[in-house]
Amino acid sequence: MAAFTLTVLRERGSLATLVPAWEELAAHSLEPNPFYEPWILLPALEARGGANLRCVLLWQGDKLAGFFPFTRERRYKGLPVATLTSWRHSAYLLCTPLVRADVAVDVLKALLAWRGAEASLIELKYLRADGPFAAALAKALRTSRAAFATLARFSRPLMSKAPSAEAHLAQMSAGLRKELRRKQRRISERPRYAEVVLGPGDDFGGEIERFIALEASGWKRAAGGAFACSETGLRFGRAVLGEAARRRRLHMVGIDVDGRPIARRFSLLAADGAYAFKTAYDESYAQYSPGVLAEVLRMREFHRLPQPWIDSYTDPANATANRMWHDRREFETLSIAAGAWGEFWLSMLPLLRWTARTFAQRGSDSSARQNFSISR
């Protein structure tokens, strides 16, 4: 196994000093994750606060080979066991760590061999179940004989590129296609109707601010999910969308009526695919379903991009995505024992399984199918 040096950083400011090495790792990672790249993660840490941050770094000489952002929790699912769990902003639905492709298995074996974790369990959330990182982790777990458990598996809508946009749209039900044509015809009769599309290299101008205002005008603000709900949220939204545009990794579609935006959908572009990041619509035009019509526009424009797929990046039960997107991608959450004490707590998972089922029956969590299995 290759030799690695492991360090742990606890402050956002310390991470900011590593940006060049961090960027280089992201460019050579086994499985890209834009949400753990510095241009998104640093603003997210500022917005959410870095309390209990434990960012585990593995170095191979002067090269950063592994980047694992965790938060330390003193309790785990109600049990008194310290855990390092994947750090995530509330908007994050992907937590794949960054590991260098050519030494990925060795990096993961070094992490599993670490015994200075300040925790008995390591929880990895929102991992793509069929991705290259999951395959490398499975190999590292087999060879290291570390005890682990699969805590949850779920799938969410995915759009894979069809031979053409029309071929993809044809997969929707005839009734839905008829309804969308009718609403498209009605809204296109409104004064100053226009479709807006911006992609890599385009000048987004004031579109980011228009989106922020549109999002703040609807239900997301009342629910606390809009960027404009707080000053920290505003800074986060402006920083991420602005930097994505600068890096040529932002894509947007929208609909304007009466000279103002009534629907916007932003996607983030990655090396291997894309993510449906943010959406907003004007609820006063709900009779036309502007958000759904904007989704049709995104589906058409997606087929002009080089990316082969776009992740819905949404709740598995999202009604719009499930009606319009035809593929699925599976995700999982794993818990790994860090020493004998962690193995003991993993042995308590039958109790956790009973608890999870009880809460599921009460309707507390419909988004993920609990699937506990202990392995070694």
Instruction: Check pLDDT > 50 for residue 366.
Output: no
Which of 3.10.20.30, 2.60.40.1180, 3.40.630.30, 3.30.565.10 is the CATH number of 162-307? 3.40.630.30
At 212 the pLDDT is 95
Q: Which candidate, 232, 212, 223, 186, places its Cα nearest to that of 280?
A: 212
**Tell me, what's the pLDDT at 367?**
45
CA distances from 317 to 259, 294, 303 (A): 34, 20, 24
Options 3.40.630, 3.40.1720, 3.40.50, 3.40.1340; CATH for 5-155+330-375 is 3.40.630
How confident is the model at residue 19, as a pLDDT?
Answer: 97
User: Mean pLDDT lowest for which of 50-59, 91-100, 245-254, 346-355?
Assistant: 346-355
SS3 148: strand
Using DSSP, state whether 137 is helix, strand or coil: helix
DSSP 319-376: HHHHHH--EEEEEEEEEEE-SHHHHHHHTTHHHHHHHHHHHHHTTS--S-EEEEEEE-
- Per-residue pLDDT of 129-186, as tens digits, reads 999 999 999 999 999 888 888 889 999 999 999 999 999 999 999 999 999 999 999 9
Mean pLDDT over the full length of the chain = 89
Mean pLDDT to the nearest integer, 183-206: 95
Calculate mean pLDDT across residues 199-226: 90
Residue 346 has pLDDT above 80, yes or no: no
Query: Does residue 288 contact residue 228 with C-beta atoms inside 8 Å?
Result: no
pLDDT in tens, 234-288: 999 999 999 999 999 999 999 999 999 999 999 999 988 999 999 999 999 999 9
User: What percent helix, strand, coil does the chain show, rounded to 5?
Assistant: 40, 30, 30
Enumerate the CATH 3.40.630.30 domain ranges in the chain, comma separated: 162-307
pLDDT of residue 177: 93
pTM assigned to the model: 0.89
* pLDDT at position 365: 47
Structure letter (DSSP) for residue 100: B
pLDDT of residue 352: 60
> What pLDDT was estimated at residue 343?
78
What is the pLDDT averaged over residues 217-236? Answer: 86
